[in-house]
Amino acid sequence: MLLGAIADDLTGASDLALMLSREGMRTIQTIGVPSGNVDLTHIDAVVVALKSRTNPATEAVAMSLEALAWLRAAGARQIIFKYCSTFDSTAKGNIGPVTDALLAALDVDLTIVCPAFPANGRTVYKGHLFLAEKLLSESPMRNHPLTPMTDSSLVRLMAAQSSLKVGLVGQEIVARGAEALREAFRAARALGDRVLVVDAISDQDLRTIGEAVADFPLITGGSGIAIGLPENFRRAGLLSGNSEPGSFTAPRGGAAILAGSCSEATRGQIQAAIAAGMPSMRIDPIDIAQGRVTVGGAADWALEQGENTPLIYSSADPTEVRAAQDALGRQKAGEIIEHFLAETAIMLRANGVRRIIVAGGETSGAVVGALAPAALYIGPEIDPGVPWTLTMGEAEPMALALKSGNFGTADFFLKAWELLQ
């Protein structure tokens, strides 16, 4: 094992695992910190998927340190802390505290912050995070149900969360290449900076950054930051040039889509699926809280759809989400949906469903946490950042696609199935 990653949510973990496997590392994703033995023969990278994104900092730090200890014991030579490409964090954000704690545990004096993922429109320029042509704070992320993002300055966000000195390396330096960047790291160290936001507007920038951080024990960022890392191991003769992603045979069985993401992309995908005739059931947190909808009812409805893939969704627009949160509380409204969809998944599995798409990071955390596979094997890419995965260590494996709320083309729920044989 060469590279170890700690991801703060499930969709983010499979996004990163896909990136590493596309770049030639044989990668698996574990669900939480493994409690038993994991066979790491022929594995180059392990991504430990936590569900820590919205947890209080002390909890997120403890979970991340536990993952770090496991990864180091398993032989990881470099660690990535993976958070969202939209820097999703609560008002009491835990990205800073987790970064501080990982730096301390590794006894390291400098790391970088770079959530850029140009393939999905996330770029960092002058320390500001953009989603396509919009600043983060002007994008739909300002209305996220759990982590509304109203500031686009990564330097300001990180400085508010971390106890360490935060600096910035601009794109003009990145564009000059890895040696210029290493020089900027030396200068930043001399100034006492410990956490450096690094601009990146293209995959080429990310590859340059990847090369320049080859000797960094800790790197933090989105999945994009991993694009250049496998090449460092290849250059050092530690990774064979031809480690192709393995073959993927999807289990036979029923299919379903469970969507708890309220992101704009997911809502568009739901509209497209319904317009194409996909049977759908909308669930609402207030109806669930008041007992008007039950897991058994939803699962029965899904199973009655036969050959037609059913879509169960709670996704709603910002006004509807706010109304539910006003009635139930922000966290409670989210938990009700997450719990409902997780229980539904268990009931569907018990009735032969073997292929599930889950939309939403927190939602995926709840669903996969309930299904409780030990690990996920990374299969084919559906869209940038979203692979099919296969549950590992189970008598009857399932194919799962964990879709980040904001990822995927409009026809994602329709086309994803075509990749399963």
Ligand X SMILES: Nc1ncnc2c1ncn2[C@@H]1O[C@H](COP(=O)(O)OP(=O)(O)O)[C@@H](O)[C@H]1O
Ligand Y SMILES: O=C(O)[C@@H](O)C(=O)COP(=O)(O)O
Q: Among 55, 78, 220, 223, indicate the residue that binds ligand Y (CB under 6 A).
A: 223
Tokens of 11: 């969709």
Contact track, ligand Y, 336-355, x by CB under 6 A: --------------------
Q: Which of residues 163-222 bind ligand Y (CB under 6 A)?
A: 222
- Name the nearest CA neighbour of 345 among 50, 284, 337, 224: 337
Contact segment (CB under 6 A) with ligand X among 34-42, 101-109, 249-257, 260-268 equals: 260-268
Return the amino acid letter for 1.
M
64 vs 404, which CB is nearer to ligand Y? 404
DSSP 79: E
- Name the nearest CA neighbour of 378 among 365, 366, 392, 360: 392
- Least CB distance to ligand Y at residue 20 (A): 13
d(CA 28, CA 31): 10
d(CA 136, CA 170): 18
- Least CB distance to ligand X at residue 273 (A): 16
Q: Among 52, 55, 153, 406, indicate the residue that binds ligand Y (CB under 6 A).
A: 406
What does 324 interact with, of ligand X, ligand Y, none (CB < 5 to 8 A by kind)?
Answer: ligand X
What does 55 interact with, of ligand Y, ligand X, none (CB < 5 to 8 A by kind)?
Answer: none
Residue 390 Cα distances to 18, 29, 169, angstroms: 13, 10, 39
Give the H or E element holding residue 49: strand 45-49
Return the amino acid letter for 103.
L
Specify whether the CB–CB gap between 284 and 324 falls below 8 A. Answer: yes
Q: Among 188, 197, 225, 337, indicate the residue that binds ligand X (CB under 6 A).
A: 337
d(CA 297, CA 293): 7
Specify whether the CB–CB gap between 145 and 320 falls below 8 A. Answer: no
78 vs 89, which CB is nearer to ligand X? 89
Count of residues touching ligand Y (by CB under 6 A): 17
Contact track, ligand Y, 385-404, x by CB under 6 A: x------------------x
Q: Among 12, 24, 230, 245, indicate the residue that binds ligand Y (CB under 6 A).
A: 12
Site membership for ligand Y, residue 230 (CB under 6 A): no
**Contacting positions for ligand Y (CB under 6 A):** 9, 11-12, 15, 84-86, 88, 117, 222-223, 360-361, 385, 404-406
